[in-house]
Amino acid sequence: MRASAQERMGTAQGTIQAPETQAALPAGRAQAAPAMRTARRPRHGWTFAFLYALVVLLAIVYLIPVYMTVITSLKAPQDINLMTAWRPPAHPYWASYVQAFRQFAPTLRNSLILAVSATLLSAMMGSLNGYVLAKWGFRGSKWALPLILFGMFIPYQSILIPLFQFLRSVGLYGGLPGLILVHVVYGLPITTLLFHNFYVEIPDELLGSALIDGAEFFKIYRWIILPLSAPAFVVVGIWQFTQIWNEFLFAVTLTRPAFQPITVALANLAGGNAVYWNLPMAGSIIAALPTVLIYIFLGRYFIRGLLAGALKG
Amino acid sequence: MRTKLWVVLVMSVVMLLVSATALAASQPLSGKLEIFSWWAGDEGPALEALIKHFEKMYPNVQVINATVTGGSGVNARAVLKTRMLGGDPPDTFQVHAGQELIGTWVVAKRMENLNSLYKEEGWTKVFPAGLVKLLSTSQGIWSVPVNIHRSNVLWYIPENLKQWGVKVPATWQEFLEIAPKLKAKGIVPLSMGETWTAEHLWENVAISVLGPAKWQQLWQGKISFRSPEMLEVWKLFGEILKYTNQDAPSLSWQQATDMVVKGKAAFNVMGDWAAGYMNTTLHLRPGTDFGWAPAPGTKGIFVMLSDSFGLPVGAPHRATTLAWLRMLGSREAQDIFNPLKGSISPRLDSDLSKYNVYGQSAAKDWRSSTIVGSLVHGVVANERFMNDFATVMEIFLNSRNPQAAANASQAVATQDGIIH
Amino acid sequence: MNSRSDRLAAILVILPSLLLLAVFVYGFIGQTLWVSLTDWGQGAGALALNPQIHWVGLENYKSLFTGFLDVRFRQDMVNMVFFTVLFVGASLLLGLLLAILIDQHLPGEGVFRTIFLYPMSLSLVVTGTIWRWMLQPQGGINALPTLFGLPASNFLWMSSRTQILQFNWQALPAYLCWAGVAVLAVAACVYLVKGRHKTAAFFAAPALLLLALVAWGPAGRAALLPYPETHGFNLALLGIVLAAVWQMSGYTMALYLAGLRTIPDELREAARVDGASPLQVYRYVELPLLAPITWSAVIILGHIALKIFDLVFAMAGPDNASTSVPAISMYLTTFRGNQFATGAAIAVVLLLMVAALIIPYLASLLRPGRAQ
């Protein structure tokens, strides 16, 4: 029984597929979708009490940093000291938010432009790439996916200097277009993988039936693949947006001040000589808010992105 | 009638031409100026005041304030170096005066010398000779210093010392006599912060043991890092470390200062930016609420460091950069910048009435003391040595073995071109 | 769907991406590799417009592992290994525990899942900033016990200099050999038990050879350094591990949870009918089925751990040697020490370690039946 079940689960990469398959598959193909499972009988008595206490305790532990961040951000600078770090402020002090927001306003705009355009571009290219690799194998295409994927694992410090020199030589250093290009290129592996895995699950017959004459590459994409891709685009979009919004190394080294994204502004607030912690904490909350909101409201898709993009951190 | 019109026309064209040429000749400086620095947060306002002053002088110049922050200037260095390697220098950049500039950029022939600027402005007379020497090589003078900070200052709270019955130690021997008593009372005798503050303390101990002349010889490669004096430095440093706080590596320098202010520690050796912190941020009055003395054993010595700006070869806006540098060296600009930054002007003729009590006392010492350069803050050794010296310090902090540290520093000095 | 023009269109569509990646990934890595084999930074004019660069072969790598002055790099490597092991191990265990808890269909399941997973959506810079505040030596976590009337803890998160599990760097080749012997021997035994004698012999032979080499041959006596140099696990790393586990354990939870929910109920039912207790069902039915998930989680978390940079940078700062890792020292060596060649060599070492983890995974993509 064990062996056969293991075969069902497949090899390591099979499992990376598995969650994505059930999450983002066109309806009807998922085999063990959660909805189809009969809910387990609820437990009662001591076991239940113990498990519930444990999960509540763990939830509290996971929320402690949020609590600390929020209360610290609402304290007046002179009220912050290590001994009373755990106590909430007597009177909320909003000035840190005003100040942090004032400093962040231009960088928020930069981050938004950067994240939205890089996400859209890398998703579109990833979709086309995934389509080609999943449905239009050519000689050597078998090698293409692993070679593409390698790009998302490299430590980016190792390409920083050549990258910089390249951007400068093509005149893209310092502004948003250059940074967008970088995020699109290094985003290609993950978007290609996600779309590839999604498209592999679309049965070939569906494509074949639309094929009456030749030269249908773009027609198939436009009329069959693309309409089915909406869930994949949402997953990829959320994933890429979060990654790009949160990125720091490229942001700090490849832009001139007028075009710096928000993570740089936060490091600026918090880095080095921070004396009072209310400001960095308020800044952290502002910087984290967009991705956390996406996560709360589109959490289901976010989790799919995590699972499907299991490979990217 | 017709001729008249014709004459008027010619006349007006000529007038127009003449006025245009006149305008061109006296046309105010215009263009752009990109200033690269890592001054932000507390240090931002001083730079902004300077820029404002510059914009008032040259309203047609568009100033781009390129600040890269975080990681104690490491990010800024990364960006500056990649830009320079790519042949895209900013017009001017912040750099510690001395070997941090010379050992990296001057030897790479990436800076223009500023001899003519110094001559035109007569700066060799208004800046102390000891300072100009630290800014120069045999090929010329390389940057314009905007400020002077003093590294060898011992900070304390007079009230607390009185209460504990302790006097300010004039030498490290005196400190080592006082320290056990303080420790017995549960007071940290000397507070310290992250690794660079340990190096900062080390340089002050070293200067007290070696004296100014031998300190300078050390950086000229004339004294071995394994000499008996240097072993003595590490031994004394090890003794002093026994009286510092355990949690030092996770504290910023401000937190180390806080320990003194809050009465948890008796003394702290730090540069005089600590005065700015206590005065501006903590609202303590210099002289009454907090006190200072030269670091033990360094009376009559001024261990200096200085932020300066230079002119990179190939700066895109050379004319505006020269105007900026000219302004930086002026008495007026320096007296705008330094009171805000909490530093003093290197100029011997600065207007002391604009500075607080601490600044005035530092300026007095600046004019009367022997000037030597700081190691940790880029004056006496190149960047490579400074980076490697952090490793030497780690070896010592982990092993507490003076011989091992001395050997390692000798090896580093040889490898990094201090000893030829 | 195989007309010539279609295939041409397919290739033309993917070509720009391939070219971009060829340049941005492989081209740039090649350049870094080349720099690591030169002496760029040894001479004075490292930053000259046309710096004098000479080929030195593997000299930089040799000095990183055996040079007197590169002791920090070696400790960084040790830090990285310990960090990776602890971070991956703790994330897996905690993630599994959370997944099993969530899988009980407790009331409010969705809320709990959201809570455990939200740290994943944060930037490492944000996480680092928050946890730096939490782990201040005289506040935050250390002051937590005082809320319950207990004495405050005084553990020095991120700044302790205590080192445990110390070992001598000289003996590293021998240790590595022994580890190799162990791995090969285990593999041989597994195949022997399975009755695949040829494969077992395939593993046993190099194991014996290596054993001979380390026990009696040169490997046992070869020392990387002429003097003993101890390295070990810096307790200061625990703070970084804590923050990293907080951020990433929800992620392993999500992986495991998805895995648990693909296990068909009939399997569980069958086991229960056979009289297995709920714990036994987990132990004997579900855990074995989660093994492949564990492997992919190890790969993903492992490569994140090897590359960790932003978090340490924001939490402990670049100069805190006790918590430093190669990605940090590469940055400092290159951009502060101007040692471009040495920095490139560290980057290549880092890349090789990541590759050792990733390439087997990528190779598995090439197996028949996968990826076209």
Band of pLDDT at residue A11, cut at 50, 70 and 90: very low
Cβ-in-10-Å burial (0-12, 13-18, 19+) of C246 comes to: buried
Question: Which pair of structure tokens corresponds to residue C250?
Answer: 């929800």
CB contact under 8 A, C47 and B110: yes
Distance CA B389, CA B416 (A): 10
Question: Which pair of structure tokens corresponds to residue B35?
Answer: 């200033």
Question: Domain residues of chain B, as ranges?
Answer: 31-148+307-363, 150-304+375-415
C308: which chain A residues are within 8 Å (Cβ-Cβ)?
Answer: none
Band of pLDDT at residue A20, cut at 50, 70 and 90: very low
Kindly state whether residue A36 falls inside one of the protein's structural domains.
Answer: no
Question: Which pair of structure tokens corresponds to residue B112?
Answer: 């223009």
Kindly state whether residue A126 falls inside one of the protein's structural domains.
Answer: yes
Beta-strand pair B265-270/C230-234: unpaired
Enclosing domain of residue C350: 1-66+339-372
CB contact under 8 A, B108 and C321: no
Strand-by-strand arrangement of the B307-309 sheet:
B61-67, B31-37, B92-96, B307-309, B144-145
Which residues neighbour A313 within 8 Å (Cβ) at sequence distance 6 or greater? C248, C300, C301, C303, C304
CB contact under 8 A, C5 and A134: no
Enclosing domain of residue A268: 104-308
What is the chain C residue with the closest CA to B413? Answer: C69
Q: A256 with A183, same domain?
A: yes
CB contact under 8 A, A268 and B252: no
Distance CA C331, CA C346 (A): 9
CB contact under 8 A, B391 and C71: yes
Looking at the DSSP bridge assignments, the partners of residue C293 are: none
Which of A164, A248, A277 is the best substitution to test chain B (most B C-beta atoms within 10 A)?
A164
Q: A76 with A110, same domain?
A: no
Kindly state whether residue C249 falls inside one of the protein's structural domains.
Answer: yes
CB contact under 8 A, C125 and A11: no
Tell me the CB-side half-sphere exposure of residue C190, using CA atoms within 13 A.
7
C-alpha dist (Å) from residue A163 to A177, B85, B86, C29, C224: 14, 12, 10, 10, 35
Query: Does A239 contact chain B (CB < 8 Å)?
Result: no
Q: What is the pLDDT of residue C372?
A: 33
Give one DSSP letter per residue of chain A, joined into a string: -HHHHHHHH-SHHHHHHHHHHHHHSPTT--SS-GGGSPPPPPP-HHHHHHHHHHHHHHHHHHHHHHHHHHHHHTS-GGG--GGGTTSPPSS--THHHHHHHHHHHHHHHHHHHHHHHHHHHHHHHHHHHHHHHHH---TTHHHHHHHHHGGGTS-GGGGHHHHHHHHHHTT-TBSHHHHHHHHHHHHHHHHHHHHHHHHHTS-HHHHHHH-SSS--HHHHIIIIIHHHTHHHHHHHHHHHHHHHHH--HHHHHHB-GGG--HHHHHHHHHTTT---SHHHHHHHHHHHHHHHHHHHHSHHHHHHHHHHTTT--
Nearest CA to C365 out of A200, A23, A229, A159 is that of A200
Residue linked to tokens 């007379």: B125
CB contact under 8 A, C351 and A155: yes
The C-alpha angle A226, A231, A235, rounded to 5 degrees, equals 115
SS3 C92: helix
Q: C151 with C244, same domain?
A: yes
Kindly state whether residue A173 falls inside one of the protein's structural domains.
Answer: yes
Which of C32, C40, C49 is the best substitution to test chain B (most B C-beta atoms within 10 A)?
C49
Determine the distance from the C-alpha atom of residue B405 to the mean position of all C-alpha atoms in its chain, rounded to a whole number.
Answer: 26
B383: which chain C residues are within 8 Å (Cβ-Cβ)?
Answer: 336-338
Cβ-in-10-Å burial (0-12, 13-18, 19+) of C57 comes to: exposed
Q: C316 with C371, same domain?
A: no
For the ranges C145-149, C216-220, C318-322, C336-340, the lowest mean pLDDT is seen at: C216-220
Kindly state whether residue A78 falls inside one of the protein's structural domains.
Answer: yes
CB contact under 8 A, A299 and C117: yes
Question: Which pair of structure tokens corresponds to residue B46?
Answer: 């001083």
Kindly state whether residue C58 falls inside one of the protein's structural domains.
Answer: yes
Q: What's the gap in Å between the CA of C167 and the closest CA on chain A?
A: 28
Question: Which pair of structure tokens corresponds to residue B229?
Answer: 């004096």
Mean pLDDT across chain C: 86
Kindly state whether residue A186 falls inside one of the protein's structural domains.
Answer: yes
Q: C266 with C141, same domain?
A: yes
Task: Say which CATH number the domain at C123 has.
Answer: 1.10.3720.10
* CB crowding A15-50: b at 16 or more within 10 Å, else e: bbbbbbbbbbbeeeebebeeeeeeeeeebeeeeeee
Terminal CA-to-CA distance of chain B, rounded, Å? 87
Q: A125 with A46, same domain?
A: no
SS3 C251: helix
SS3 C88: helix
Q: Which residue has the higher pLDDT, A199 or C220?
A: A199
Distance CA A146, CA A193 (A): 9
A65: which chain C residues are within 8 Å (Cβ-Cβ)?
Answer: 119, 130-131, 134, 246
Q: What's the gap in Å between the CA of A191 and the closest CA on chain B?
A: 29
Give chain C's count of helices (H) and strands (E): 17, 2
Mind listing the pLDDT tens digit of every residue in chain B (420 residues)? 556 666 666 766 666 665 555 554 456 788 899 999 888 766 778 899 999 999 999 999 999 988 877 666 778 888 898 888 878 899 999 999 999 999 999 999 999 999 999 999 999 999 999 899 999 999 999 999 999 999 999 999 999 999 999 999 999 999 999 999 999 999 999 999 888 899 999 999 999 999 999 999 999 999 999 999 999 999 999 999 999 998 888 888 888 999 999 999 999 999 998 998 898 888 899 999 999 999 999 999 999 999 999 999 999 999 999 999 999 999 999 999 999 888 999 999 999 999 999 999 999 999 999 999 999 999 999 999 998 998 899 889 888 999 999 999 999 999 888 887
Residue type, A190: I
CB contact under 8 A, A18 and C259: yes
CB contact under 8 A, A291 and C122: yes
Beta-strand pair B265-270/B301-305: unpaired
For the ranges A22-36, A239-253, B139-153, the lowest mean pLDDT is seen at: A22-36
Kindly state whether residue C208 falls inside one of the protein's structural domains.
Answer: no
For chain B, positions 60-79, list CB contacts with chain A under 8 A. 64-73, 75, 78-79
Kindly state whether residue C45 falls inside one of the protein's structural domains.
Answer: yes
* CB crowding A254-281: b at 16 or more within 10 Å, else e: bbbbebbbbbbbbbbbbbbbbbbbbbbb
CB contact under 8 A, A132 and C14: yes
Answer whether C163's CB lies under 8 Å from C223's CB: no
Kindly state whether residue A220 falls inside one of the protein's structural domains.
Answer: yes
Distance CA C351, CA A287 (A): 30
Q: A268 with A155, same domain?
A: yes
For chain A, how many structural domains are there in total? 2
Q: What subunits make at least 3 CB pairs under 8 angstroms with A?
A: B, C
Q: C10 with C151, same domain?
A: no
3-state secondary structure A232-248: HHHHHHHHHHHHHHHCC
Q: A89 with A108, same domain?
A: no
Which of B139, B247, B401 is the best substitution to test chain C (most C C-beta atoms within 10 A)?
B247
Which of C336, C339, C342 is the best substitution to test chain B (most B C-beta atoms within 10 A)?
C336
Digit-coded pLDDT (tens) for A98-153: 988 888 889 999 999 999 999 999 999 999 999 999 888 877 888 888 899 899 88
Q: Please name the member of C17, C122, C370 whose beta carbon is closest to the beta carbon of A188.
A: C17
Q: What's the gap in Å between the CA of A66 and the closest CA on chain B?
A: 22
Q: How many CB pairs under 8 A join B and C?
A: 108
Q: C29 with C112, same domain?
A: no
CB contact under 8 A, C159 and B87: no
Answer whether B154's CB lies under 8 Å from B295's CB: yes
SS3 B311: coil
CB contact under 8 A, B249 and C320: yes
Residue linked to tokens 């194998």: A137
What is the chain A residue with the closest CA to C131? Answer: A65
- The answer on pLDDT for C3 being more than 80 is no
What is the chain A residue with the closest CA to B44? Answer: A268
For chain C, positions 98-137, list CB contacts with chain B under 8 A. 135-137
Distance CA B117, CA C97 (A): 70
Q: C280 with C141, same domain?
A: yes
**CATH topology (fold) of B150-304+375-415:** D-Maltodextrin-Binding Protein; domain 2 (3.40.190)
- The answer on pLDDT for A84 being more than 60 is yes
Q: A56 with A203, same domain?
A: no
Neighbours of B371 (CB within 10 A): 20
C-alpha dist (Å) from residue C291 to C63, C268, C371: 40, 17, 23
B66: which chain A residues are within 8 Å (Cβ-Cβ)?
Answer: 256-257
Residue linked to tokens 């994409």: A221
Distance CA B225, CA B419 (A): 10
CB contact under 8 A, A173 and B42: no
Q: C4 with C52, same domain?
A: yes
Kindly state whether residue C147 falls inside one of the protein's structural domains.
Answer: yes
Q: Please name the member of B41, B82, B83 whose beta carbon is closest to the beta carbon of A273.
A: B41
Distance CA A143, CA A133 (A): 10
Mean pLDDT of C141-165: 82
Query: Does B32 contact chain A (CB < 8 Å)?
Result: no
Kindly state whether residue A32 falls inside one of the protein's structural domains.
Answer: no
Q: A79 with A140, same domain?
A: no
Q: B31-148+307-363 belongs to which CATH class?
A: alpha beta
For chain C, how many structural domains are there in total? 2
Q: Which residue has the higher pLDDT, C258 or B199?
A: B199
Residue type, B22: A
C-alpha dist (Å) from residue A119 to A122, A191, A233, C136: 5, 9, 10, 37
Q: What subunits make at least 3 CB pairs under 8 angstroms with B?
A: A, C
Distance CA A49, CA A26 (A): 40
Q: How does DSSP classify residue B285?
A: P
For chain B, positions 260-289, list CB contacts with chain A under 8 A. 277, 281
Q: What is the pLDDT of residue C15?
A: 93
Digit-coded pLDDT (tens) for A218-227: 888 888 889 9
Is the torsion defined by CA of B227, B233, B234, B239 positive or negative?
A: positive
CB contact under 8 A, C334 and A163: no
Q: Please name the member of B67, B85, B87 whose beta carbon is closest to the beta carbon of A257.
A: B67
CB contact under 8 A, B68 and A274: no
C342: which chain B residues are within 8 Å (Cβ-Cβ)?
Answer: none
0.85 surpassed by complex ipTM:
no
For the ranges A232-241, A279-288, B303-312, C276-285, the lowest mean pLDDT is seen at: C276-285
Which residues neighbour B41 within 8 Å (Cβ) at sequence distance 6 or greater? A268, A269, A272, A273, A274, B69
A149: which chain C residues are within 8 Å (Cβ-Cβ)?
Answer: 362, 365
CB contact under 8 A, A215 and C366: no
- The CA dihedral of A56, A60, A66, A67, to the nearest 10 degrees, is 120
Q: C78 with C158, same domain?
A: yes
CB contact under 8 A, A165 and B254: no
Digit-coded pLDDT (tens) for C154-205: 788 887 888 888 888 878 878 888 888 888 888 888 888 888 888 888 888 8
**Same CATH topology for B31-148+307-363 and B150-304+375-415?**
yes
Query: Does B171 contact chain A (CB < 8 Å)?
Result: no
- The answer on pLDDT for C26 being more than 70 is yes
Query: Does A39 contact chain C (CB < 8 Å)?
Result: yes
A186: which chain C residues are within 8 Å (Cβ-Cβ)?
Answer: 24
Distance CA B158, CA B258 (A): 15
Answer whether B260's CB lies under 8 Å from B267's CB: yes
Q: What's the gap in Å between the CA of A278 and the closest CA on chain B?
A: 14
Query: Does B313 contact chain A (CB < 8 Å)?
Result: no
Distance CA B186, CA B182 (A): 7
Task: Say which CATH number the domain at A229 has.
Answer: 1.10.3720.10
A45-73 and C71-102 helices, crossing angle to 10°? 130
Band of pLDDT at residue C325, cut at 50, 70 and 90: very high
Neighbours of C359 (CB within 10 A): 14
* % residues pLDDT > 90 (chain C): 31
Kindly state whether residue A192 falls inside one of the protein's structural domains.
Answer: yes
